[in-house]
Amino acid sequence: MLQRDVLEIVVLGVLACFSVYSWTVIFSKWQTLRGARKANSRFLRSFRKATGLEAVVVASEQFRPSPLVAVFDFGYEEIERQVKAKGTLTNRTSLERTIQLGISEELAKLERNMNWLATTASVSPFIGLFGTVLGIIRAFRDISAMGTGGMAVVIGGVAEALITTATGLAVAVPSVIAYNYFVRRVDEFVNDMEICASEMTDLLTR
């Protein structure tokens, strides 16, 4: 009985660690994306109202959490590099590649730790099932060792073992929901960056 309890406690402890870290990621990611969304909206309004490059540079300093600002910085730095070297913009293709690099880097930042949610969603049910299988095996071994048993004893042992399966599902479900939600939000960010990239390229090459 003690050995079975120890195994169940270990499995439940592992699931608890998965749950705590997953919820930490969920709250952190939600706050990050929320802040980035607000900063994006504000920067985009300033960007489209700007009458020149200098006005955009000033606006970019005010909305640093915005992924769009980071993408703009990539393009602006490439412009400065070409101007210092040749006195003018000489390679639009290089500018476009640099902006795309900025988008890729910001996408990597937005997706940071999301793989943990996917892992938790896929692994937790199996960890719970593993605990249940171990619990059922122990329950039947206890019955065999006692030499007596009935449906009540078996059902009681199985019901106790199923707690780990239920816990595994309870850990996995929020991770699945959060992961799918964040994927949609990140896709929206990527679409915004792609649309804005062409506008930035036009502005920077004027």
SS3 readout for 37-54: HHHHHHHHHHHHHCCCHH
Closest CA to 124 of 14, 35, 31: 14
CA 52 – CA 73 distance, rounded (Å): 15
Question: Is the pLDDT reported for residue 42 higher than 80?
Answer: yes
Q: Return the CA Rg of the chain.
A: 27
Place of tokens 């992961």: 179
CA 189 – CA 172 distance, rounded (Å): 26
What is the predicted pLDDT for the residue at 146? Answer: 66
For the stretch 118-169, pLDDT in tens is 999 999 999 999 888 887 777 777 667 666 555 565 666 677 778 889 999 9
Q: How many domains does the chain have?
A: 1
What is the predicted pLDDT for the residue at 199? Answer: 78
For the stretch 163-199, pLDDT in tens is 889 999 999 999 999 999 999 999 998 888 888 888 7
CA 141 – CA 113 distance, rounded (Å): 41
Residue 2 pLDDT class (50, 70, 90 cuts): very low
Domain enclosing residue 131, as ranges:
2-204
Region 23-41 average pLDDT: 92
CA 34 – CA 149 distance, rounded (Å): 57
What is the predicted pLDDT for the residue at 119? Answer: 94
Tokens of 94: 């290089």
92-110 and 151-204 are packed helices; what angle lies between their axes, rounded to 10 degrees? 160
What is the predicted pLDDT for the residue at 49? Answer: 80
What is the predicted pLDDT for the residue at 148? Answer: 58
Q: What is the pTM of this model?
A: 0.80
